Amino acid sequence: MINQHLEMAIVELQEFIDSRPDAREVKKALAVKLVYQGYKYEEIQTILDVSVGSITSWKQAYKEYGICGLRLNYKGRKSYLSDEQLQEVLSWLQTKEIWELGELEYKMAFEYDVIYESKRSYYDLFEAAGISWKKTTGLNPKANQQAVAAKKNRLKHCWQTTERT
């Protein structure tokens, strides 16, 4: 009966390992699986480069909560914007022709009293609105029309014409 329980636990842990993309969850499950397969804690510590205390707590979490005890518990930080405010910002972004990061930062600071520490948060808003953050200006500000024309003229002999059928 005990062997059957161990075998079922090992199979369940292996299925969890095979299905999880997060290496931290895989490491937890692998440590518990190795314990159930009879490895010593010191061997597991060396193999996985984790502490004996971590192995013990992961095994206890698995005993108490099953596979759910091995999942990461981090849920992320609560959003600075309510769902309604987020929809307002996304709608505003979608009505614009040209997007500028500075304008978005200004709107967030003065209308919603939100200042993100990282530019990544603003880029995430652009992405959520279906806008590539690289579309910030209508024209390339570094474009030099004379240099482009000179290069086209210089490379004109390299061009080939193809007939359309």
pLDDT in tens, 67-81: 888 888 766 677 888
Confidence of residue 57 (pLDDT cuts 50, 70, 90): very high
pLDDT in tens, 128-153: 888 875 545 566 667 788 888 888 88
Let me know: does 69 contact 96? Beta carbons within 8 Å: no
Residue 30 pLDDT? 92
Q: How long is the chain?
A: 165
What mean pLDDT, rounded, does the chain reach?
A: 84
pLDDT in tens, 3-52: 788 888 888 888 888 887 888 889 999 999 999 999 999 999 999 999 99
